[in-house]
């Protein structure tokens, strides 16, 4: 299905000049960029994003790290995007991540692990909602999509692309920009 997922390119990636490389990995895989922004994280947003970490002893230090530079937020779309992007990122600790994954290739740390990716479709929807307005998520045609999926997959994608977050019709401001 044409699922959307949420990614944060963390301050260590920005500081190391890796953001372009990480975005390129997703683009080359065939995921479609439908939302992008640079943001300085606020504490309230951070706590909302990481509500599952409430009370953990490393939280304050982690927040300090996460606001060291602005971060880049992405919304990526594609069939099974949530699971694919999580697998592309690798497990939390860069030293344990598979060597072919983003964390496995570029990170030696359990905290300085370059990237955040939503871990379920429900969390992707929730996290996108914290940082993006519906009108900041775009829909546009990518000419290469038809050679990246089979015909039956394309039919499924097209049917489901029309469904927005929570099944509400998706606002498509990007449509106006199509040639």
Residues of this chain that interact with ligand ADP (CB under 6 A) are 53, 58, 62, 92, 110-111, 113, 116, 119
Nearest to 35 by CA among 145, 146, 173: 173
* Known catalytic residue at 116: yes
How near is the Cβ of 108 to ligand ADP at its closest, in Å? 13
173/135 Cα distance (integer angstroms):
6
83/19 Cα distance (integer angstroms):
21
How near is the Cβ of 143 to ligand ADP at its closest, in Å? 34
Q: Are 105 and 139 in contact (CB under 8 A)?
A: no
Antiparallel, parallel or unpaired: β 32-39 and 2-9: unpaired
How near is the Cβ of 157 to ligand ADP at its closest, in Å? 26
Cβ-Cβ contacts under 8 Å for 178 (sequence gap 6 or more): 140, 141
Our CB check for ligand ADP shows the closer of 65 and 149 to be 65
Our CB check for ligand ADP shows the closer of 16 and 175 to be 16
What the block records as the tokens of 13 is 């990636």
Of 116, 117, 118, 157, catalytic: 116
What the block records as the tokens of 4 is 């959307």
Our CB check for ligand ADP shows the closer of 89 and 137 to be 89
How near is the Cβ of 56 to ligand ADP at its closest, in Å? 7
Cβ-Cβ contacts under 8 Å for 98 (sequence gap 6 or more): 90, 91, 104
Our CB check for ligand ADP shows the closer of 92 and 158 to be 92
Active site residues: 116
């Amino acid at each position: 299905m044409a699922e959307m997922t949420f990614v944060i390119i963390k301050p260590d990636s920005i500081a190391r000049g890796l953001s372009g490389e990480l975005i390129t990995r997703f683009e080359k895989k065939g995921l479609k960029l439908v939302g992008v922004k640079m943001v300085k994280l606020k504490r309230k947003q951070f706590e909302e994003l990481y509500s599952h970490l409430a009370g953990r002893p490393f939280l304050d230090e982690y927040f300090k790290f996460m606001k060291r530079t602005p971060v880049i937020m992405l919304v990526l779309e594609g069939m099974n995007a949530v699971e694919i992007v999580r697998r592309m990122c690798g497990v939390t600790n860069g030293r344990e991540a598979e060597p072919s994954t983003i964390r496995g290739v570029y990170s030696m740390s359990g905290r300085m692990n370059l990237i955040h990716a939503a871990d379920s479709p429900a969390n992707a929807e929730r996290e996108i909602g914290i940082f993006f307005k519906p009108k900041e998520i775009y829909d546009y045609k990518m000419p290469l999509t038809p050679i990246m999926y089979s015909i039956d997959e394309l039919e499924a994608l097209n049917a489901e692309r029309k469904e927005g977050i929570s099944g509400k019709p998706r606002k498509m401001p990007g449509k106006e920009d199509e040639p």
